[in-house]
Chains A and B, each alone.
Chain A
Amino acid sequence: MFLSRLAPLLTLLGAFVVWEVVCVVFSVPTFVLPRPSQIIASAQEVPLDTWLANIAATLQIVLAGFCISFAIAIPLAMVLVNSRQLSNTVVPLLVVIQSTPIVAIAPILVVSLGAGVSPRVVITCLITFFPLVISTATGLRSAPVELIELSESLRAPRFRQFTQIRLPYAVPHILGATKVAVTLAVIGAVVAEFVAADKGLGYMIVNYTAVFKLGRAFCALLILLCISLTLYQLVVLVERTFFAWSLPSRN
């Protein structure tokens, strides 16, 4: 039990050891592939303030992009579920947006929206939007027919059919999509920073690889990974704390 919990960590450590050994044995140059020990050491080459400023910059884009996307996606899904006609009109459009390669549209957006924060936030929105809308709409439709009939037989106001029946039934779907979306938001923010930015972890990676400081680039990558994992765990925590009923029962 204890060992099985540690297993992933041990595997990871093992991989790092193999990495380290391979680099030493084949004397791989640092600018091609730094050893794990060198990566950790190179983190200290950059002042802490710089790290924090760049982390803050990326985190700001991730959170702003995700929150705006969430705030639009949920009401839009409700509207789509409410009207078949609108759903038929809007959903194909969403599929088109989703099918557009985000990396390809990023430079275009930067030109259109300028080099500020806005194109980065928009790109993050675009990448997280589709899974949120589609999953929420599916969730809203998953409420049992009988409850919808109950609602109609009571002649209850339509908005309460959403707030008291459909939305709670959509919670597991929304949480599932949110888990996907927070990790996608990190990807979106980094892609946006690759294209045009003057700060942020994505910007650091581009800059440091350009000057063969791979150790520092790897550090930035690790931090991105941590951000992604933390956001994911936050969603899990919210799910367990506030929506425990939506989790499958253990027995």
Chain B
Amino acid sequence: MGLGWPPPRLGASVGGMRSPRPCRPGPSLPWAAAGVALWTLCLASSATATSTELQIAYQRFRLDNGLTVILHEDHTTPEVAVNLWFHVGSKDEAPHRTGFAHLFEHLMFMGTTRVPDGEFDRIMEALGGQNNASTDEDRTNYYESGPAPLLPTLLWLEADRLTSLADAMTEKKLNLQRDVVKNERRQSYENRPYGGVELALVDRLWPTGHPYHHPVIGSHADLTAATVKEVQTFFRTYYVPSNATLVVAGDIDPKTARAEVERYFAWIPPRPPPLHLTPPPARLAQPATVRLQDRVQVAQVTLAWHAPALRRRGAAEATVLAAVLGGGRSSRLQRRLVYDTKLASEINVKHDTHEHDGILEITANVGEGHTAAELERAIRNELGLLALGEMPSEREVERARAFVERTTLEALDGLNARADALNEYESMFGDPGLLRRDHLAQFVRVSPSDVRWIARLIFAEPDVAVIVTPRSATRAH
């Protein structure tokens, strides 16, 4: 019952290709397929420099089984994107099972009874579909895109693995993906210059037992320990409709798309939503310094503080603060340390946000002829000036806001990027309308005194420093 077999063939979808209604006729861009022309139906942004609302329209509904669905039209290309978020990430992992959520993400591609190992990708690619997934601390997302007529097939494939993956799980599949993930760890951290920094940071920023204490990739030992039974339990706990949000975006007709979603997902029985614990706020009792040696030629200093979490009070201010400090050549740290004194050859500042915590992170490469200690001192000095010295100027905060506004827009470039943003607002806040109303607007409000306020709040707390220095090249025998 439910899904049926085989998956829908092209042309068998409910409804056909829709005809275009150009919102803004322009110079002809002869994209002849399915009458797609140059337009962006009702997505045209009439934004001027002062408008801060994003014209990203959507429709939203919820199935009886708890699955929330968002539909978003965009006819820029004749493509459709399916974007599914599960509210589970590395923060939900059991002790000694770090890396599990991400390993599980890999396993989602390993096949079901109806769509055995490898068929998922074969079906999709035979029809021009692409797919991928990602895992972080808080959520796991699966996304596909392809020609618009492929939508029913994409939905069918997602519904199939959502409902029957656990039944077809085997030791062999688990072993294989374990190896792939271990290779990913080697490539992304162990064999990469400065790859140990991120691992050291999470280890020290949060205490043992805190959900954010371990890296998403997990440890080799814990990956080895995972069992098939645990995979099945994890699946049945977290991969349930009430813990998921689905966005369908692109060259769609909302009525047809809705009917297709209901056809493939409405039959899925409800299951109780999993418990999501809110971890206690983490505060460092004292600063920590980690010293690493690596096969690098240039030393590197990384300093990190706890900062506001995703969309919490102070988050927008912290993001603008990061731009005041490091966004562009005339930012505080770049101007003083890279271009004036050359203590650093490169500096990056970012405000990273998770669901329950955030990090303000400064990474700087040491300039020729200088030491890590000098650079660290100079950075702290600049932070002190910002927090306790003269109020930041209106101009520099304006620049920082322009920087953040631009990066925010860039991050929304593309169908899947917008689908993902809608999904984040739905999944984390239950309100995709926030994307339109406040995603840009949150930064416009930030003033110089706000920047100083958040700088004082953040930098008053202890930090974690990770210093990487070059190791000598002789091999230990």
**Is this pair of chains taken from one and the same complex?**
no
Residues of A within 8 A of B (CB): none
